[in-house]
Amino acid sequence: TAGITQAPTSQILAAGRSMTLRCTQDMRHNAMYWYRQDLGLGLRLIHYSNTAGTTGKGEVPDGYSVSRANTDDFPLTLASAVPSQTSVYFCASSDSPGVNTEAFFGQGTRLTVV
Amino acid sequence: QKEVEQNSGPLSVPEGAIASLNCTYSDRGSQSFFWYRQYSGKSPELIMFIYSNGDKEDGRFTAQLNKASQYVSLLIRDSQPSDSATYLCAVTDDYKLSFGAGTTVTVRA
């Protein structure tokens, strides 16, 4: 079982360019999340989706957009990358948003904006 | 104020000792509480969750929750070198899962 898959695993991106980080899960989970992880700051929530067709803003949404056209996919787009978006990005999913449900994480995407 | 705060660490404990990790949260509406472990360069993985006040034990791990004090902790008994990792506290309401910054634990052999 693949679980949750992110692509690419790493990327170097020129500032000002756009990029979409892909996330796909095969567990039919309703909730999906995008986090960025920076040293000393832990995992910070960028955007989330509780079910297909709905999205919400997390702690650090500026400069990022998401869509949830179907259950399986939750892409994260950087419209015009800036160096401060250099980070490790994790996608996660859970069966439902909330009580007692484990979140499963993808392997992460290491993004460097130069 | 960040929603979830953890003791900053790093925490160094000798092998066989108890490691104690603490976490506080700001939203009284938080419903469930999770501890994740993350090895360097890897993705977080769930250790255990707790949603009722009191203690919950799973092997060498014990989670403790006090909703009145908005406090959750994790005890690791008989610490092993393989427990060396960053431990992330997470809380959830109806909509989102929020994490603390993590506490790095090193178990000395």
Q: Is residue A1 predicted with pLDDT exceeding 60?
A: no
Please indicate whether, in this complex, the C-beta atoms of A105 and B95 are within 8 angstroms of each other: no
State phi, psi for B95 to the nearest 5 degrees: -120, -30
A32: which chain B residues are within 8 Å (Cβ-Cβ)? none
Are the C-beta atoms of residues A34 and A76 closer than 8 Å to each other? yes
Average pLDDT in chain A: 93
How many beta-carbon pairs below 8 A join chains A and B? 65
User: pLDDT tens across A17-72, in order?
Assistant: 999 999 999 999 999 999 999 988 889 999 999 999 999 999 999 999 999 999 99
Predicted local confidence at residue B33, as pLDDT: 93
Could you identify the residue written with the tokens 């909703």?
B67
Q: Is residue B1 predicted with pLDDT exceeding 70?
A: no
The closest CB to that of A97, out of B96, B99, B100, belongs to B96
Predicted local confidence at residue B7, as pLDDT: 84
Are the C-beta atoms of residues B83 and B12 closer than 8 Å to each other? no
- The whole-angstrom separation of Cα A76 and Cα A64 is 7
Predicted local confidence at residue A96, as pLDDT: 77
State phi, psi for B52 to the nearest 5 degrees: -110, 150
| Shortest CA gap A26–chain B (Å) | 18
Predicted local confidence at residue A98, as pLDDT: 64
Average pLDDT over residues B35-52: 94
Average pLDDT in chain B: 92
**pLDDT band per the 50, 70, 90 thresholds, residue B16:** very high
Q: Is residue B96 predicted with pLDDT exceeding 90?
A: no
Residue A28, CA atoms < 13 Å, CB-side half-sphere: 0
| A110 close to B (CB below 8 A) | no
